C-alpha cells in the first residue's frame, strides 16, 4: 500500500473515480467534497521528504519518525508517541494496550470506532459498548451504568471522539470531556480520544491541542485528513503504554523501514497545517449559506460545527446515491452517508470558487431530481 502511495506521489498525481487529479493546489476538474482525506501533500511536504534523515525503524529507529513521535507527544502534552500507518491502527493499539482480554470499551454509539472499527475488538477478545449520546457526547448516566463494577463485563477504557464525524464534525465541550474523564478515572478505567480531527476541535474551541488531550490518557491523531499528509497517524500517551504499543505494532505488521520519508510530511503537517484549519471551517459556513440559498426548504442542513455539513434528504425526494450521480455530472463529488443523508467536507482544496461551483451543481441537480 505504501508503495502505491509513493508511486502516486512520485508521478505527482492521484486519481479518483477514473479522473486524474494533479498534486498541490490544482487538484483537478472536480469540486471534491467527499472528505478531507482527499487533500494532496503540499510542496513543502515534498521538499521535506527529499531531505528527510532516514534509518531502519524496525532496527535502531528512523530519526525522522522519532522526531515526529516526539513532536506529537510534546504538542499533546504526553510522554511518548508512536507513528502508525493509519488512525484505525492507532485506535486499535490504544485498545490492545489498555484493555485486558474480556474487558469492555465504552464509547458514544455512533463513534467511528464503534460503527466502523469495532471488528478490531475481535483481535483483543474485548467488547465494545455503544452508549447513546447527543451531538457526539455520551449520555453520562449511561456511562455511569457502564462503569459499574457489578457489570458482567468490566469497562476498562472509555473513548471519546472529537471532532465527531458522525455527528457532523461536532466538537465535544471541554466540560463534557472533563466529566467523562472524571467518571472513568473514578471507576479505575482509562480514557482514549479518537482524535482523527482533534486539531479541528482545538481550533474551534480556540484552545491549545494539549488542553483537549489533557482529558485522556491516550490520543490518536490523524495526519492525512485536513492536515494534508499523504498517510499516517500518531498515537500518544504514557511511555510505558507506548512501549507496549510499539511491540504490538510489530505484531500487526505496522513497523515500517525508512518510513521517515512519510514521517517528514507528518512533521510538516503538525508544524504548519493546524493554523489553516479555521479556513476550512469558514468555507464550510460559506458552503452552508450557499446551499441554503439554492436548495428548497424541505431539504435540511446539519452543521457545520467545523468542516462537515450533512444535507438531510426527506423521504419524498430521491435518495443520496441519485444525488451523487447527478452531482458528479455537474462536476461535484459528494459522499452518500446512508440513504437519506449526504456528507460534505471542506478542506485545503476548497475555496470560494469551489463553493460557487458546488452550489451551482446542487441547484442543477435539484432541478433535475425534483423537477
Ligand atoms: C473519526 C475518525 N476516526 C478514525 C478514522 C480512521 O482513519 P484511517 O482511515 O486513517 O484509519 C476516521 C476515518 O475517516 C475517522 O473519521
What CATH number does the domain containing 321 carry?
Answer: 3.90.1150.10
106 and 71 in one domain?
yes
What pLDDT is stored for residue 15 in this prediction? 39
Domain end residue (candidates: 272, 295, 310): 272
Q: Which of 232, 241, 149 is nearest to 196 (CA)?
A: 232
Q: pLDDT at residue 345 above 90? A: yes
Looking at the structure, do residues 236 and 364 belong to the same domain, yes or no?
A: no
Query: What is the rounded average pLDDT of the residues 252-274?
Result: 98
Determine the pLDDT at residue 151: 63
The pLDDT of residue 371 is: 84
pLDDT at 102 over 50: yes
The phi, psi pair for 27, rounded to 5°, reads: -75, 15
Q: What are phi and psi of 119, to 5 degrees?
A: -55, -30
The pLDDT, as a whole number, for residue 241 is 98
pLDDT score at 152? 79
Any idea which of 8-17, 112-121, 183-192, 258-267 has the lowest mean pLDDT? 8-17
| Cβ contacts of 10 within 8 Å, gap of 6 or more | none
- Shared-domain flag, residues 261 and 281: no
> Do 229 and 106 reside in the same domain of the chain?
yes
pLDDT confidence of residue 130 = 97
Contact 84, 266 (CB under 8 A): no
Ligand 1 geometric centre to CA of 152 (Å) = 30
Q: DSSP label at 149?
A: T
Is a pLDDT exceeding 90 seen at residue 232? yes
Mean pLDDT, residues 41-65: 97
pLDDT band of residue 11 (cuts 50, 70, 90) is: very low
Same domain, 139 and 124: yes
* Residue 114, all three cell numbers: 464503534
Rounded CA-CA distance 14/99 in Å is 39
CA distance 13 to 8: 6
| Strand intervals (E) in the chain | 13-16, 19-22, 31-32, 80-84, 104-108, 127-131, 133-134, 137-138, 155-161, 190-195, 218-222, 233-237, 300-302, 308-312, 332-333, 335-336, 341-345
| Mean pLDDT over the full length of the chain | 93
pLDDT in tens, 75-94: 999 999 999 999 999 999 99
- Determine which helix (DSSP H) or strand (DSSP E) holds 190, and give its type and residue range: strand 190-195
Establish if 109 belongs to a structural domain: yes
Domain membership flag for residue 6: no
- Residue 224 CA: nearest ligand 1 atom is 10
Mutate to test the pocket of ligand 1, among 36, 113, 196, 223 (most ligand atoms within 8 A of CB): 196
- Taking a C-beta distance cutoff of 8 angstroms, is the pair 60, 359 a contact? no
Question: Is there a domain that residue 16 lies in?
Answer: no
| Same-domain status, 163 and 291 | no
In a domain, 11, yes or no: no
Is residue 35 located within the same domain as residue 181?
A: no
pLDDT, residue 195, reads 98
- The pLDDT value recorded for residue 363 is 97
Domain around 256 = 43-272
CA of 362 to the centre of ligand 1 (A): 27
Tell me the whole-structure pTM to 2 decimals. Answer: 0.93
CATH of the domain at 260: 3.40.640.10
Asked whether the CA dihedral 157, 163, 164, 170 is positive or negative, the reply is positive
pLDDT of 224 above 70 = yes
Please indicate, yes or no, if residue 75 is contained in any of the structural domains.
Answer: yes
Ligand 1 center to residue 343 CA distance, Å?
A: 15
Would you state the pLDDT for residue 13?
36
Taking the centre of ligand 1 as the mean of its atom positions, its distance from the CA of residue 112, in whole angstroms, is 7
Q: Tell whether 353 is covered by a domain.
A: yes
Per-residue pLDDT, averaged over 346-366, amounts to 97
The tally of domains found in the chain comes to 2
**Residue among 286, 163, 179, 283 nearest 225 (CA):** 163
Confidence at residue 246, expressed as pLDDT on a 0 to 100 scale: 98
Q: What is the mean pLDDT of residues 12-32?
A: 54
Last residue of a domain, one of 272, 297, 313: 272
- 190-195/218-222 β-pairing: parallel
Query: Does some domain include residue 9?
Result: no
- Are residues 33 and 105 part of one domain? no
**Ligand 1 lining (C-beta closer than 6 Å):** 86-88, 112, 161, 165, 194, 196, 222, 233
Residues 282, 250 share a domain: no
pLDDT top residue among 25 and 225 = 225
181, 251: one domain: yes
When pLDDT is cut at 50, 70 and 90, the band that residue 29 belongs to is confident
Q: 265 and 280: one domain?
A: no
DSSP 8-state class, residue 164: B
Question: What percent of the chain clears pLDDT 90, i.e. is strictly above it?
Answer: 91
Residue 20 maps to a domain: no
Domain boundary at 239, 272, 305, which? 272
Q: Are residues 116 and 31 in the same domain?
A: no
Question: Average pLDDT of 197-218?
Answer: 98
- β-pair partners for 98: none
Amino acid at each position: 500500500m505504501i508503495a502505491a502511495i509513493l508511486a502516486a506521489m512520485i508521478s505527482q498525481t492521484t486519481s479518483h473515480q477514473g479522473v486524474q487529479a494533479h498534486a498541490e493546489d490544482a487538484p483537478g476538474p472536480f469540486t471534491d467534497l467527499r472528505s478531507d482525506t482527499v487533500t494532496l501533500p503540499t510542496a513543502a511536504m515534498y521538499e521535506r521528504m527529499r531531505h528527510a534523515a532516514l534509518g531502519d525503524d524496525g532496527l535502531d529507529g528512523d530519526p525522522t519518525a522519532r522526531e515526529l513521535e516526539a513532536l506529537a507527544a510534546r504538542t499533546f502534552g504526553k510522554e511518548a508517541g508512536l507513528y502508525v500507518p493509519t488512525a484505525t491502527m492507532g485506535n486499535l493499539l490504544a485498545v490492545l494496550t489498555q484493555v485486558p482480554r474480556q474487558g469492555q470499551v465504552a464509547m458514544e454509539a455512533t463513534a467511528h470506532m464503534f460503527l466502523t472499527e469495532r471488528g478490531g475488538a475481535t483481535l483483543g477478545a474485548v467488547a465494545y459498548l455503544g452508549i447513546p449520546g447527543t451531538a457526539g457526547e455520551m449520555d453520562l448516566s449511561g456511562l455511569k451504568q457502564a462503569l459499574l463494577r457489578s457489570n458482567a463485563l468490566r469497562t476498562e477504557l472509555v473513548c471519546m471522539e472529537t471532532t465527531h464525524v458522525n455527528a457532523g464534525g461536532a466538537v465535544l465541550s471541554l466540560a463534557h470531556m472533563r466529566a467523562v474523564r472524571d467518571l472513568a478515572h473514578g471507576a479505575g478505567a482509562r480514557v482514549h480520544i479518537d482524535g482523527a480531527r482533534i486539531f479541528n476541535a482545538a481550533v474551534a474551541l480556540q484552545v491549545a491541542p494539549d488542553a483537549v488531550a489533557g482529558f485522556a490518557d491516550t490520543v490518536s491523531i490523524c495526519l492525512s485528513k485536513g492536515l494534508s499528509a499523504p498517510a499516517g497517524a500518531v498515537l500518544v500517551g504514557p511511555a510505558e503504554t507506548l512501549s507496549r504499543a510499539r511491540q504490538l505494532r510489530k505484531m500487526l505488521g505496522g513497523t515500517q523501514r525508512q518510513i521517515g520519508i512519510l514521517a517528514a510530511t507528518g512533521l510538516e503537517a503538525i508544524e504548519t497545517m493546524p493554523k489553516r484549519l479555521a479556513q476550512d471551517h469558514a468555507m464550510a459556513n460559506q458552503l452552508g449559506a450557499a446551499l441554503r440559498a439554492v436548495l428548497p426548504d424541505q431539504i435540511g442542513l446539519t452543521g457545520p460545527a467545523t468542516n462537515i455539513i450533512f444535507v438531510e434528504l426527506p423521504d419524498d425526494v430521491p435518495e443520496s446515491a441519485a444525488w451523487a450521480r447527478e452531482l458528479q455530472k455537474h462536476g461535484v463529488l459528494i459522499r452518500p452517508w446512508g440513504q437519506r443523508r449526504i456528507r460534505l467536507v471542506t478542506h485545503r482544496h476548497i475555496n470560494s470558487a469551489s463553493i460557487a461551483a458546488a452550489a451551482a451543481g446542487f441547484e442543477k441537480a435539484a432541478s433535475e431530481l425534483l423537477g
